[in-house]
Amino acid sequence: MKFALPTFLRTTTFKLALLYSAMFAAFSAALLVYLYYSTVYYIRAESDRRMDLEFEQLGNAYFTGGMERLSESVFERMTRNGSTFFYYLEDASGRRIAGHFQRMPAHNPDLDVQTVYFEVTLTEPDGSEVVRPVAGRIVRLRDNGGALLVAFDTAQQTAIVGRIQNAIFIAAPIGLVLSLLGGLLISRGAARRADELARTAEMVMGGELGRRVPVRGSGDEFDRLGQRMNAMLDQIEKLVESTRNTGNAIAHDLRSPLSRLRNRLEIALSEPMSRESAEATLEETVEEVDRVLGTFNAILRLARLEAGAEGERVRMDVSELAEQLAELFEPACDEAEQTFRSQISKNLMVLGDRDLIGQALSNLLDNAIKYTPAGGTISLTVARGPSGMIDLTVVDTGPGVPPDARKRVVQRFQRMDSARTHPGSGLGLALVVSVAEMHGGELILSDGNGPAESPGLKATLRLPRA
């Protein structure tokens, strides 16, 4: 039976955590080794320095007063309270002159200077005897062939070095274990967050379009990734829902013109027609076909717009564009017996596609003319908005749109029941929303200035100022 590692042990995060743990362990080991050698080196260097100072002072005594002055100096140091050194002085024949020991420790008599290590038995204040490790230096006197030993107790140094070694032997495995545990915990946490992303993706693939990635609010990379994924899933759900409704909406909106077209052609075929009636029938048929083609063209353009295949943004004067549209739509309002007003601020610049912004503003004006009754008023205002934005606002005195229906009417093929008696495809406001989103703006629908029974509609296309 093949043994399978747990999932998180096979993840990249665990491998990275393992690598970082190994690096941390290597760094800790190097640090401990450095501390050990630097401490031991310092202790030995300090002992050597004190030893050199001691020999320098004894050497001065020897050079100024000979063997007699040297022996006096050794006696003085042996009787000094708090001295940490041991001394032994002998003459050329090996006879002991002064010293803490009965005889010189074993050494090589042919060397002028040598370091020796030995043990001595010392009597404690309570009368007990203790064996202590000692390190010393033997120097051969030049003139008379005698020798001088200066040594010190290394028990304290040995104890310090031993403690450092014990600390290293204890700390090194603890550091390694802690680094591995830390890497394990970090990798498990990262693997758990990655599993949440994977489970959410699997559930969405299984048809649960409302499933979202949990966001914990920590602001880490997983939260940021989760927020981006949730935004993507919101858009996917919106597009899927729109796609589900598109077929029914197209069938509903095209059934009437196609039925009229079929009935008109059926009537034309059922009875003899004069040239005039045939031409009228063909003209009406062409108009119906044009409306159907217009619907399909609007669908295609909206699809290209949402896919980012249309639009080339340049710095443009939206005030000039609005003035041109005002001149174009004012005669249409006069023909519909409506009053048209415009108030356009000068030199308002945006970074956008002139044709798309013009199409969006035309859709708003066309809707206002379509749904405003005779005698009503339509106004176009272009002015600076809040926080560096520019507002292109169209206000009419028509029936308006109830607040609970405003999110629905900006979706594709969504029309209010009262609007189905008017020609249209239900794509005008959806195109305006797409244009606004492409330019980093928004479409805001609110009540106009009319009474409660007919408040009118205020549609504001808000775009960033360039």
Over the stretch 359-369, which tens digit does the pLDDT of each residue have? 899 999 999 99
DSSP class of residue 101 equals S
Q: d(Cα 130, Cα 392) in Å, to the nearest integer?
A: 101
329's CB contacts (< 8 A; 6+ apart) are 340, 362, 365, 366, 369, 378, 380
246's CB contacts (< 8 A; 6+ apart) are 412, 413
For position 258, what pLDDT does the model report?
76
356's CB contacts (< 8 A; 6+ apart) are 305, 310, 311, 435, 438, 439
For position 254, what pLDDT does the model report?
67
- Report, as an integer, the average pLDDT of 139-158: 85
- Report, as an integer, the average pLDDT of 373-397: 93
Q: Is the distance from CB of 284 to CB of 318 less than 8 angstroms? A: no
Q: d(Cα 444, Cα 401) in Å, to the nearest integer?
A: 12
Residue 299 pLDDT grade (very low, low, confident, very high; cuts 50, 70, 90): low
Least confident residue range of 87-96, 236-245, 345-354, 377-386: 236-245
Identity of the highest mean pLDDT range in 108-112, 237-241, 281-285, 291-295: 108-112
Identity of the highest mean pLDDT range in 91-105, 162-176, 339-353: 339-353
How much of the chain exceeds pLDDT 90, in percent? 20
Burial of 176 (0-12, 13-18, 19+ CB in 10 A): middle
- For residue 390, the tally of other CB atoms under 10 A from its CB is 23
Tell me: the pLDDT tens digits for 306-352? 655 556 788 999 999 999 999 999 999 999 999 999 999 999 999 98
Question: To the nearest whole number, what is the mean pLDDT of the chain?
Answer: 81
Residues in the chain, total: 466
Q: What angle do CA 456, 461, 463 make, to 5 degrees?
A: 160
For position 253, what pLDDT does the model report?
61
User: Is the model's pLDDT at 266 over the cut of 70?
Assistant: yes
- Report, as an integer, the average pLDDT of 415-435: 66
For position 1, what pLDDT does the model report?
47
For position 350, what pLDDT does the model report?
93
**Which parts of 66-197 are beta strand (E)?**
85-90, 96-99, 113-123, 129-140, 147-153
Residue 196 pLDDT grade (very low, low, confident, very high; cuts 50, 70, 90): confident
Using CA atoms of 423, 425, 427, 429 in order, give the dihedral in degrees to the nearest 10: 30
- Report, as an integer, the average pLDDT of 23-41: 81
Higher-confidence residue of 99 and 294: namely 99
- Report, as an integer, the average pLDDT of 235-245: 72
Residue 420 pLDDT grade (very low, low, confident, very high; cuts 50, 70, 90): very low
Identity of the highest mean pLDDT range in 24-38, 222-236, 342-356, 423-437: 342-356
352's CB contacts (< 8 A; 6+ apart) are 311, 313, 314, 316, 318, 439, 463
- 3-state SS of 350-407 is EEECHHHHHHHHHHHHHHHHHHCCCCCEEEEEEEECCCCEEEEEEEECCCCCCHHHHH
pTM here is: 0.47
For position 173, what pLDDT does the model report?
81
For position 33, what pLDDT does the model report?
83
In which element (H, E) is residue 459 found? strand 457-464
User: Is the model's pLDDT at 111 over the cut of 80?
Assistant: yes
Residue 438, CA distances (Å) to 74, 329, 431 in order: 97, 25, 10
Taken in order of first residue, the domains within the chain and their CATH numbers are 14-160 (3.30.450), 209-310 (1.10.287.130), 314-464 (3.30.565.10)
* DSSP-assigned beta bridge partners for residue 460: 393, 444
Q: Is the distance from CB of 449 to CB of 456 less than 8 angstroms? A: yes
User: Is the model's pLDDT at 216 over the cut of 90?
Assistant: no
- 3-state SS of 165-230 is HHHHHHHHHHHHHHHHHHHHHHHHHHHHHHHHHHHHHHHHHCCCCCCCCCCCCCCCHHHHHHHHHH
* DSSP-assigned beta bridge partners for residue 134: 118, 153
Q: d(Cα 463, Cα 313) in Å, to the nearest integer?
A: 13
Residue-wise burial string across 61-86, b where 16 or more C-beta atoms lie within 10 A, e elsewhere: bbeeeebeebbebbeebbeeeeeebb
For position 389, what pLDDT does the model report?
94
For position 459, what pLDDT does the model report?
94
How much of the chain exceeds pLDDT 70, in percent? 86
DSSP class of residue 465 equals B
Residue 99, CA distances (Å) to 90, 95, 105 in order: 9, 11, 12
For position 5, what pLDDT does the model report?
59
